[in-house]
Amino acid sequence: MATTNDLKNGMVLSLDGVLWTVVKFQHVKPGKGGAFVRTTLKNVLSGKVVDKTFNAGTKVETATVDKRTMQYLYAADDDFVFMDLDTYDQINVPSSTVGDAKNYLLPEAEVTLGIHEGTPLYIELPASVELEVTHTEPGLQGDRSSGGTKPATVETGANVAVPLFISTGEKIKVDTRDGKYLSRA
């Protein structure tokens, strides 16, 4: 348990059995009335963002989320298998938890896995990854109707819009947050 005076960015709260991360908080002391804390909270599982106001000094339940560096090993059925780099324990993470991160996961890739009471909550990828282009059409000079980009399929199966000069077999850098092409690798 903590009070609203102890809130910090990144802290994980358990409100009504749901885990929320504190994105932003502000202590407000109006001239008239009692002080309060205005917060912006993000749902750990769904990513939904809400604004919530607490009276100053209100007790809130905190949750401990253990962030561990894990290595992706392989996909098995509907799960993804990760290995803890400290203990070498293997953890199965359901594909619903991995979500769109699967488009950027290569075997032996290192990720940060958030775990609460033995349950994997989310995966944090590095800001960018290097992926090989497995298929793309040749870009034609003068073909600018699509803004100078063309679709390409990378080794994980994801589709990325790349510049016309990229060809099959090249390695490219992709931003994991929005799936955009960054540069050649």
Evaluate if residue 27 carries a pLDDT over 60.
yes
Q: Which of 80, 109, 124 is the last residue of a domain?
A: 124
- With cut-offs at 50, 70 and 90, classify the pLDDT of residue 11: confident
Q: Max Cα separation, the chain?
A: 68
Using an 8 Å Cβ cutoff, are 102 and 156 in contact?
A: yes
CATH number, domain of 149, equals 2.40.50.140
- With cut-offs at 50, 70 and 90, classify the pLDDT of residue 45: confident
Evaluate if residue 145 carries a pLDDT over 70.
no
Evaluate if residue 115 carries a pLDDT over 90.
no
Evaluate if residue 140 carries a pLDDT over 80.
no
Evaluate if residue 146 carries a pLDDT over 60.
no
Query: How many Cα atoms within 13 Å fall on the side-chain side of residue 183?
Result: 2
Evaluate if residue 132 carries a pLDDT over 90.
yes
| Residues, the chain | 185
Evaluate if residue 61 carries a pLDDT over 80.
yes
Same domain, 116 and 81: yes
- With cut-offs at 50, 70 and 90, classify the pLDDT of residue 164: confident
Q: Which of 87, 102, 124 is the last residue of a domain?
A: 124
Same domain, 159 and 139: yes
Same domain, 55 and 93: no
**Structure-token pair, residue 148:** 């100078």
Same domain, 178 and 139: yes
Same domain, 38 and 81: no
Helix (H) or strand (E) holding 97: helix 95-98
**Structure-token pair, residue 3:** 């009070």
Q: In this structure, are strands 171-175 and 128-136 parallel, antiparallel, or unpaired?
A: antiparallel
Evaluate if residue 148 carries a pLDDT over 60.
yes
DSSP 100: G
Q: Which of 18, 33, 60 is the last residue of a domain?
A: 60
Structural domain harbouring 141: 128-184
Q: What is the pLDDT of residue 23?
A: 87
- Computed on alpha carbons and rounded to an integer, the radius of gyration of the chain in Å comes to 22
Evaluate if residue 180 carries a pLDDT over 80.
yes
Residue 21 CB contacts under 8 Å (≥ 6 apart), including other chains: 10, 11, 12, 13, 41, 42, 44
Look at the chain and report how many structural domains it folds into: 3
Same domain, 30 and 12: yes
